[in-house]
Every structure is written in structure tokens, then in C-alpha cells.
């Protein structure tokens, strides 16, 4: 004969276990989907690369070499913007060309992080966000 309080206790433990499993699956799938890692630049660059591959590649090319849009990789590709803030302002208002402003603020930060990484323009490994944009020089 089981104790009358055992069944509710088992239900609570099972519920907590299920909640923990859902949290673990959600965390792992958001990472796989390219959700940035907050203050983790590597995850931000990975997310930006995934966005580039799905949104930007058709105009700027697989290697950023250009196509319909200008080259995004090379010694002078982004330097005319002078700061990551100016690059962000342009990209977030004008890109993608067929749907300007259609990405989220974080997605634009991630794409900028990816482009800076691709061009080796973030030597200090600064996470790209509203606070860091002005300080990231593109020289």
C-alpha cells in the first residue's frame, strides 16, 4: 500500500523534470538556429553568418565578392563607413534591398559582427551592440 502523499510528490517531480527537459531543448535549438549568445561574440558571428547566407548572399555573393550588391569583403570594402555605427545605420535602414529594415535589431547587430569578423575589423573581439558600435572603427 502506497502512502497518500507519494502520488502528488511523484507528479511534482515529473513536472519539474519535464520543465527542465523543455528548457534544455529550447536552449539547444535556439543555439542551433543561430540565436546570438548575448555577450558571446563567437555565437553572434555564427548567427550573423547564418543570416548572411539566407538573406545577403543572393546580392553580395557567397564570398562577399559582389554581384548585384557591392563587395563586402576586402581591404577597402567597409572602410568608407568609418565606424560600425555608420555601417549599422546604413544596413539597418537599407538592407536587404528588397525588404529594407525587415530584420530585427539583433539580427542587424549579428550581421555587422559577421562582416567585421570576415574583414578582421574587430581585433579586440567586442560584441556588437548599441553600446559598442560607435567605438568600433573600420580603419
* pLDDT digits 0-9 by tens, 51-72: 999 999 999 999 999 889 999 9
Look at residue 84 in the predicted model and tell me its pLDDT: 97
Per-residue pLDDT at 7: 54
Confidence of residue 3 (pLDDT cuts 50, 70, 90): low
pTM: 0.72
Indicate the DSSP class of residue 134: G
What would the mean pLDDT of 86-96 be, rounded to a whole number? 97
All three cell numbers of 30, joined, read 535556439
Are 65 and 118 in contact, with CB atoms under 8 Å apart? no
pLDDT tens string 8-54: 544 445 444 433 333 333 333 333 344 445 579 999 999 999 999 99
* Residue 139 pLDDT: 83
Amino acid at each position: 500500500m502506497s502512502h497518500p502523499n507519494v502520488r502528488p510528490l511523484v507528479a511534482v517531480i515529473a513536472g519539474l523534470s519535464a520543465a527542465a527537459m523543455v528548457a534544455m531543448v529550447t536552449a539547444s535549438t535556439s543555439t542551433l538556429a543561430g540565436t546570438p549568445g548575448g555577450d558571446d561574440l563567437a555565437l553572434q558571428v555564427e548567427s550573423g553568418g547564418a543570416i548572411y547566407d539566407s538573406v545577403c548572399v543572393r546580392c553580395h555573393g557567397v564570398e562577399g565578392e559582389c554581384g548585384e550588391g557591392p563587395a563586402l569583403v576586402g581591404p577597402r570594402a567597409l572602410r568608407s563607413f568609418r565606424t560600425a555605427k555608420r555601417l549599422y545605420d546604413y544596413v539597418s535602414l537599407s538592407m536587404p534591398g528588397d525588404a529594407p529594415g525587415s530584420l530585427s535589431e539583433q539580427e542587424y547587430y549579428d550581421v555587422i559582427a559577421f562582416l567585421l569578423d570576415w574583414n578582421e575589423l574587430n581585433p579586440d573581439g567586442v560584441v556588437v551592440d548599441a553600446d559598442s558600435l560607435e567605438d568600433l572603427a573600420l580603419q
